[in-house]
Amino acid sequence: MSTKKTTRSASGAEKQRQSIKLVLDDIATKVGSGLRAAHLEFPVYLSVPSSGDSLITIACPVDPTDSEWSRATEIVCRVIGERLKGINLHSRPLQCTAVNAIAGAADITAE
């Protein structure tokens, strides 16, 4: 029973990732507009994983404050949630490192 549940969830996530891949450039444009409107002037990378529960992984090559990063992840969740017919999304922090720099990352998943 638990295996069936995991399989169904993974297949749903895969379909959602495929949808995201088709409009990733548009999502990036809307996220960029949202960040600028919120006066968040740092880059956010968007990457679509090939497996697992995450729909998209976001990262930043600079070290925004926790408050700024939280606002940025909320913008990403809102933009992608709207593209996926209004589903609620949330983020979970990821361990991340970069050579000669500080970086942060988060996975975006369905609630």
User: What is the model's pLDDT at position 102?
Assistant: 67
User: What is the model's pLDDT at position 92?
Assistant: 87
Structure tokens at 80: 């992608």
pTM of the model: 0.80
- Tell me the per-residue pLDDT of 21-68, one tens digit each, with 9 for 90 and over: 999 999 999 999 999 999 999 999 999 999 988 999 999 888 899 999
Q: Where in the sequence is the domain holding 54, given as residue range(s)?
A: 2-110
CATH number assigned to the domain comprising residue 80 = 3.30.980
User: What is the model's pLDDT at position 63?
Assistant: 85
d(CA 79, CA 109): 13
* DSSP 8-state assignment for residue 86: T
How many domains does the chain divide into? Answer: 1
